Structure 1
Amino acid sequence: MKNWFKSILIAILICGCSETQTERPRTAPGDSLTTEKASLDASRQPVFLEINEPQVDIDLAEIKKRGRLIALTGYNANSYFLYKGEPLGFEYELLKLLAEDLGLELEIVIARNLDEIFNLLNQGKCDIVAYNLTITKKRMEKVSFTDYHTLVRQVLVQQLPDRWLDLKRHEIEKMIITNPVDLIGKKVYVRKGSSYYARLVNLCDEIGGDIEINEAAGDVSTEELIRRVARGEIEYTVADDNLALINVAYYSNIDIHTPLSLPQRIGWAVRKNSPHLREAVNRWLKKIKTEPTYNILYEKYYLNKRFFSQRVKSEFFSMGGNKISPYDDFIKDQARQLNWDWRLLASQVYQESQFDPQAKSWAGAQGLMQLMPVTAKEVGVKNPHDPQQNLAGGVKYLAKLWEYWRAIPDSTERLKFALASYNAGPGHLEDARRLAQKFNKDPNRWEDNVSEFLLKKADEKYFQDEVVQFGYCRGEEPVNYVAEILERYRDYQKFIEL
C-alpha cells in the first residue's frame, strides 16, 4: 500500500465531518425503486461526448512504475459487491489475481454509467475495463479488447404467464414469445450503450419488421431491468444468458429460453495504445483458464444459484441495504469513542473474527476483537464471547494504543501504528522504529520505513541487532494486517453510507 492511500485515510478521523467518497450506488435486487422510474428514460440522462482515442500515454511500464493497476468494473450482483463484510465479485476476484500476477496493487473504480466507461478509459481514469462487455466492431473502434474469456448468447427476458406452475411447457410456450419474429411491434427495454441495443437493431432488419426499442438510461443495470420484468413493470428486456440464468434463481417467474443472438465473445478492454498491458493480460488469461481457478470462480458467480439467492436476499448484501454485519449499531457506538469512521472499525472487526463472536484463535484470542485473556482482563471484559463486552474491550485497548503513539505527528501514520500494535504489540514496532532510525529511515512513517524493518525482524541479522529488545517477529502478519484493514475500509466506503 503506497502513499496514495493518504488522501483517503485523512478522512478517517471524521467525527462530524462530511463524507468524501462518491455516493454509493443504490440499486437493490428486490427493492421497490419507485424513485428510479424516470431513469428508464435515457433522454433524461446527460449526454456524454464520445472519446474514441486515448488521451494519455500509459502502458504497462508506466503502470508498474506507479505500482498499482486501476481497474473499472460494475457494481452489481456478479461483478463487484459487498456481502457479510467481504468484498466479492467475479471480476473483482479475477482482477485481484491479475494484479497479483503483475506484482501490482489493485485500485477499483466503479462504473456508474455504461455510456461513459470507454471515455474514462481513454481519459486515463483507469487502465482496464473488467466488465461483462461483448466484443463488437463498434466498440473496437474505441478500445482494444483482450482475448475473450467467456462466450454468451443474448436471450429475451419475459414474464411467465399467470399460474405457470400449473401449466406444461408446451402450454407455456403458446402464451409467451418463443420466436423473435413475434417481437415485431413489441416494446423492449435495453440499457443504453449496451450491445443489446445494437443486436435488436440488427434483428429488426433480419425479421423484416420494427421492434419498439426503448433505451433505458446508462446507469440502469441489466439486473434492474430483469427485476422490472419479473414485477410486471415492463414486458421485455434482453440479457446475456449467463446473467439471465443466475437471475432465475431469484426471479422464478421469468422465462429466458428465447435466444436472440449467436454466441458472442466477452472480454476486457484496454486503451489502443496499451499493447504491452494487453499482451500481459492475455498471457495471464491463457494461464488461468488452464487452471481450476477460473472455472471455480465462474461456477461461484454464474452457476451457483443457491449462493446468488442467499446473497441477494440477505440484509448484509450491499445492493440490498446499508448493513455490514449484525453488530453495526454496536460498532457505530464504539467508533464514536475513538472518533473513527465506523466502517474502519468494522473492517478491523472483520479482520479479527469475520464478525463471529464465538471465534477463537490457536493462541487463545477470543471474540469479535480477538482479545487475549490477559488483555480482556485488563480492559474489564468478563465474557469475551459477549459481542458488546468484547467490542467495548477491544476499543478500550485501541484507545490505549492510540494514546501510546501520540508522538507520531501525522494522524494517518499514527493510525497505522495503532493498528499494527493491536496485532503485534507495541514492543515489536518500537524495535522496528529503532532499526529504521539506525538505517536512516523515518521512524514516524509506516510505508517503506517502519513496516520494512518490521518485516526484516524475521531475519536473524536484524532481530539480533543491538537496538532490538523484543527479538524475532514474523513481521509479515502485522504488515498485511494493516494493509488488508485499510483496503477493505476503502471497499466499505464505496458501498456503505456513513
Structure 2
Amino acid sequence: MSALRNIARITLLLAGSASLLVVSAPPAAAVGNASAAFTETVRKPFTGDFDAMVGRRLVRILVVPSQTYYFVDRGTQRGLAYDFGRAFEEKINQKRKRGEPRVEVIFIPVHRDDLLKGVVEGRGDIAIGNLTITPERERFVDFSVPFLRDVKEIVVTGPESPEVRTLDDLSGKTVFVRPTSSYFQSLWHLNESFSKQAKAGVAIESAPEQLEDEDILEMLNAGLVDIAIVDDHKARFWAQVLPGLRLHPDVAVRTGAETAWAFRKQSPQLASVVNEFARMHAAGTAFGNQKLQEYLKSLKYVKRARSEQERKKLFELIAIFRKYADQYAFDWLMVAAQGYQESGLDHGVRSRVGAIGIMQVMPATGRELGVGDIRQRDANIHAGTKYLRRLIDQHFSDPAIDPLNRTLFAFAGYNAGPNRVAALRKKAASQGLDPNRWFGNVERVVAREVGQEPVRYVANIYKYYVAYRLVVDTQREREAAEAAAKAP
C-alpha cells in the first residue's frame, strides 16, 4: 500500500468547507511531516487537468453525505459514490506502468450547495451527487457522458397526500424541495407556465439543504410532508423499501434529463478519462446494478409522525412540552421531536433496560433529577427536558456554539454519552473540522468513532422537528385564514 494511501487513512481534515474522512492508521512513526504535507496538498486550491493530477498522484472527489451515496460507519467509507469512485481509481491505475506509484482518489464530503462551487474553486476535481445536467449548471461546470439517461423528475406523494393526477393538479399545492436542486428549477419553470395561463402557482416549500432526496422520501413515506419531486429512478429504488410512497410517473416536471459527474471547464484530459469510465459503469451495467442493490438492507426509516393519530398525540402534549421547554430555554418543537424519536410519543413504552415513557428516562435518572414520578407524562417530559439542559450546561455551554447546535450536541450526548461527544468535539477540532457545528462536522467524527446510531438519532430528530414546524405553521396559517374569513 502506498505511503500516500497510508497517510490518507489516518487523516481527517478540512479543505475549505470540505473534509476528508479516512479510516485506519499505520504506525505513528510513518506519519510525521508527510501527514502535514498531505493535508496542505488537499487544502490548497488546485485547478489543473488530469495530467497535473497524475503528477500530484491525487484526484479529489467531492461527495454529499447521504444514506445512499456516501457515509462512514465505524471508520468504513460506504455508499454508491464511494464504490464508483474506488472503481474509477482502479481504472485509472490500470494504465500506470509497472513500478509507477498509484494515483490516489480521496473523497471530500461537502454540503450540496458547495458541490459544484467546490469544483469551480479548485477544492475538488470531480463532483458526484446524482447531478442532473441543466443549462444553469453548464454555465459553471462541464459534465461527463451521462451515467443515467432519460430521467424524469416526477411527483411523489405520501399515504395521506392530496390527489395528483396531472401537472395542473399542482396548481396551488405546496411542494417540498431543496432550493439548490434541479427540481426547484423545474418548478420555477412550471410556475412560469401557470402564470401565463392565469393559474395559481406551486407553493415551493424550501427543504433544508441538509436533507437529501432519500431523507425527503422518508418524510413523505412517514406522512411528514405531502408532495415532493424526485428523479424517477431514485423514487422507484426507494419505493421498494418505503411502502407508503405513491409514485406518479405520468406527472413529471422534467423529462429526458441526464445525470452525470461534474468537473471544471477546460479539462479535456479529465473529461476523456471520466467519459471512458462512465461508458463502462453507467446504469444498466452489471457493476451499476449490483451496487444499487447493496444499500437496500441496512436503512432505518422515519415513522409516520404526522398521521392524524400522531398529530393528535402531539397536540395533546403541546402544553407540557411548551411549559418545560420555556423553563429550560428550548424550542418546544425540538423537544417534542426528540420525544417522538425516543418513544413515538407513546408514554406506555418501556425499554429492555428499564427506560420509561415519552422521553425514555431511567428511574435512577428521574430520582436524581427530582422532578416527581416519571411514570406520569408531565414529570417524564420534565425529566427529559431538564436532563437536556444539564447536558448543555455541563458539556456544551461554549458561547461559540449557537443555540441550534447546542441542542443537537445535547441530543447526541443523550444517545451516545455527553463525555464521549465532548471528547469527539475536541478531536474534530484537531482534524480541521468545526467543533461547534454538528451537521457536516462533528457528526462525521462520531460516525467514524462510534457508528451510525447517534448520527441517525440526531438526523431523525431534526427531520421530525422540520415536520412539526410545518404542522404548526400550517395550523397558524389555517387559523389566520379562518379568522380573516370571519372578519366583517
TM-score of the aligned structures, taking structure 1 as reference length: 0.48
Bigger relative contact order (CA 8 A; separation at least 6): 1
